[in-house]
Amino acid sequence: MNLILFGPPGAGKGTQATRLKETHGLAHLSTGDMLRAAVAAGTPLGKEAGAIMAAGKLVSDELICGVVAERIEEPDCAGGFILDGFPRTVAQAEALDALLAAKGKRIDAVVEIKVDEAALVARIEGRSKETGGARADDNVETLKKRLDVYRAQTAPILPFYEAKGVLHTVDGMGSIDEVTAAIEGVLAETV
């Protein structure tokens, strides 16, 4: 089973992916985590991505698609994976489609976690305090930029998956357990 968890920054994609990884034995592919690891390790990728991430912008499609193409080749992805934070543009969604088709694979379900923006701002404020600002992009000003980017570049992907009949939406405003239950409900019905 290959899944995409979709939603704006702070919607809980990472939290839910961590749970689904355990319960379904899937690989968790968070492009944000991969980029943060590259920044921390000071690799050429990290050097290119760091400032872009801190500004709340998107790294180039070419760069991120290369990272995902390599990651999907790793053995732990053979039994299925959860994409978290990718694709973030229509070009990335198309590139992913081509990449998977070439391997005879496909995305089985895209689960959109729907939340309201005021709640997201409150969540990021909380996360920023909890982690002592460990993530350079965890502040309200950057969140607003990231939400703008989400609306302008990422949300337009939804019709692409809707047309394929794989798009499902869950209410992301409940507790973590409630959101997990809603996602499990979608998976039980569709995959």
Give the residue numbers annotated as catalytic, written as ranges.
Answer: 13, 88, 127, 135, 146
Site for ligand AMP in 8-27 (CB under 6 A): 9
Residue of the chain from 5, 26, 35, 187 that contacts ligand AMP (CB under 6 A): 35
Give the residue closest to ligand AMP by C-beta. 32
Considering only residues 83 to 112 of the shown chain, the ones binding ligand AMP according to CB under 6 A are: 85-88, 92
Instruction: Say if CB 83 and CB 5 are below 8 A apart.
Output: yes
Which residue shows structure tokens 């990335």? 92
16: left (phi over 0), alpha (psi -120 to 50) or beta: alpha
Backbone φ/ψ region at 6: left (φ over 0), alpha (ψ -120 to 50), beta: beta
Inter-residue contact 117 to 182 (CB < 8 Å)? no
Q: Pattern of binders to ligand AMP over 112-151, x per CB under 6 A?
A: -------------------------x--------x-----
Is residue 32 a contact residue for ligand AMP (CB under 6 A)? yes
59 binds ligand AMP (CB under 6 A): yes
Q: Does residue 31 bind ligand AMP (CB under 6 A)?
A: yes
CA 114 – CA 132 distance, rounded (Å): 27
Decide if residue 170 touches ligand AMP (CB under 6 A).
no
Under the binding rule (CB under 6 A), the answer on residue 38 touching ligand AMP is: no
Smallest separation (angstroms) from ligand AMP to the CB of 110: 14
Q: How far is CA 142 from CA 113, 132, 135, in A?
A: 20, 16, 11
- Checking 183-186 for CB contacts under 8 A at 24+ apart, the result is 183/16, 183/20, 183/111, 183/113, 184/23, 186/109, 186/111
**CB of 32 vs ligand AMP, minimal distance in Å:** 2
Residue 28 touches ligand AMP, criterion: CB under 6 A? no
Closer CB to ligand AMP, residue 62 or residue 165? 62
End-to-end, the C-alpha distance of the chain in Å comes to 7
Kindly report the number of other CB atoms within 10 A of residue 27's CB atom. 19
Residue ranges binding ligand AMP (CB under 6 A)? 9, 31-32, 35, 52-53, 56-59, 64, 85-88, 92, 137, 146
